[in-house]
Amino acid sequence: MGNATARPSFNKNALLLIGVLVMTACGEQSSTDHSSEVDNKEPTVAVQTAPLRYGHIDQTLTVYGMVIPSPDKIKIFSVPFESVIEQEWVNVGEEVETNDLLLTLTPSPDTRLRLQQARIELNAARVQRGLMRERLRLRLATKQDLVAADSRFDQAREQLQSLTRRSLGTAHEIRATAPGIVYLMSVRQGQIVAAGMTLLQTVDHNQLTVRFGVEPEDISGVHEKQLVRMKSVHNPDAKSMEGRIHTLTHLVDPKTRLVTVLVQPLATDDLLLNDYIEGRIVLQSKQALLAPRAALLPAGKAYRLFTLKDGRAVLHEVRKGLQTATEVAVVADRLKEGEAVVTVGNYQLGNGSAVRVESAR
């Protein structure tokens, strides 16, 4: 009775052991198959791309300079006699219109004295001439004496008339002769100024020039009439403008060690006198197939880049042309506009490498 009971228990345990062994074997086989599948999968390189485009590219030279008046367009104001500055009516940088009052002047004490001396001389010459005529009538003088007296009178009269025409005896007003900007004020209220001294200068707002300095080693590529793109350094929101080189000097400035180049802007509405300007002189310009600079990889004396086809990288040998900070002109036989080139991850690629394209973060 005891033996009959033990046999079923043995069979049950045996069955459990066989089941565990079978499950373990199946698990090991599944794991082996999965590992084999992973080992057989080819690795890929994550890349980012950008399209080639056909467009305009310039080779430029960056220079810096300042807005100045055109040297031959400056209007200089002065007076022909020594004066005292009575009143200043404008400030440097102020815009003025035709006939606007700029300065009021009065004759200096020395000028008044000079005018008074001219009057005294004229009266003395008139009296002398009268006396000489009377002496000639009495035969106490000769006609030669009368000629000398007449000459003295004529000279004294002309001297007084000249001083009077120049308004030496009255206040003098300096007024603008044309619209412009006050560029220079050389005097101050109450100052005594000499005859012919520059009092102030104005310049037409449409007659401004930009003076740039170019390194001597770069001057060989710079020529008159070249296009220059300009922008204010201190005002990043200012509009860009264009101009043409109209004067190229052949002298190195001893202070800056640069060669001066003068550029005539095509429009001057947004220019401010003495503003600091960044200029880009266009040395060369052409239409070409353009690629991002990041797409090109150096390969000895040549360059290469990668395009994509059917999920794989395709190597292209290219020649490099003009370049900017972001783009470069490329020449190759099998490249075309709109084709995607690899810009990120290209250092890890070889011809035929498997890739996956990711969007820029």
Question: For position 322, which CATH number holds?
Answer: 2.40.420.20
**For 174-222, what is each residue's pLDDT tens digit?**
999 999 999 999 999 999 999 999 999 999 988 899 999 999 999 999 9
**For 249-258, what is each residue's pLDDT tens digit?**
999 999 999 9
Do 275 and 305 belong to one domain? no
Per-residue pLDDT at 137: 87
Q: Is the pLDDT reported for residue 88 higher than 90?
A: yes
- Closest-CA residue to 94 (of 188, 177, 202): 202
Per-residue pLDDT at 36: 41
**For 103-143, what is each residue's pLDDT tens digit?**
999 999 988 888 899 999 999 999 999 999 988 888 888 98
Per-residue pLDDT at 41: 66
Do 191 and 216 belong to one domain? no
Q: Are 104 and 198 in contact (CB under 8 A)?
A: no
Coil/strand/helix, residue 351:
coil
Read off the CATH number of the domain in which 161 is found: 2.40.50.100
Between 81 and 11, name the one with better pLDDT.
81
Give the single-character DSSP code of 43: P
Do 159 and 306 belong to one domain? no
Question: What do you get for the CA distance between the two ends of the chain, in Å?
Answer: 80
Q: Is residue 170 part of a domain?
A: yes
What are the residues facing 55 on neighbouring strands? 288
Per-residue pLDDT at 237: 83
Q: Are 135 and 141 in contact (CB under 8 A)?
A: yes
Strand bridging mode 355-357 / 45-51: parallel
Do 272 and 333 belong to one domain? no
Residue whose structure tokens are 């367009």? 73
Distance, CA of 320 to CA of 332 (rounded, Å) = 9
Q: Is residue 217 part of a domain?
A: yes
Torsion of CA 253, 254, 257, 262, to 10 degrees: -10
Q: Is the pLDDT reported for residue 40 higher than 60?
A: no
Q: Is residue 13 part of a domain?
A: no
Per-residue pLDDT at 39: 43
Do 267 and 158 belong to one domain? no
Distance, CA of 191 to CA of 86 (rounded, Å) = 8
Distance, CA of 44 to CA of 308 (rounded, Å) = 13
**Total Cβ atoms within 10 A of residue 3:** 6
Do 256 and 296 belong to one domain? no
Read off the CATH number of the domain in which 268 is found: 2.40.30.170
Region of residue 292 (phi > 0: left; psi between -120 and 50: alpha; otherwise: beta): beta
Give the single-character DSSP code of 144: H
Strand bridging mode 241-252 / 259-265: antiparallel
Q: Are 318 and 331 in contact (CB under 8 A)?
A: yes
Per-residue pLDDT at 11: 53
Domain residues for the domain of 110 are: 72-203
Q: Are 86 and 189 in contact (CB under 8 A)?
A: yes
Do 80 and 180 belong to one domain? yes
153: CB partners within 8 A, 6+ apart = 122, 125, 126, 128, 129
Domain boundary residue among 170, 203, 236? 203
Structure tokens at 340: 């995607």
Structure tokens at 320: 């490099």
Tell me the percentage of the chain whose pLDDT exceeds 70. Answer: 88
Distance, CA of 138 to CA of 118 (rounded, Å) = 30
**For 284-328, what is each residue's pLDDT tens digit?**
889 999 999 999 999 888 899 999 999 999 999 999 989 888 999
Do 258 and 317 belong to one domain? no
What value does the CA radius of gyration of the chain take, rounded to a whole number of Å?
A: 46
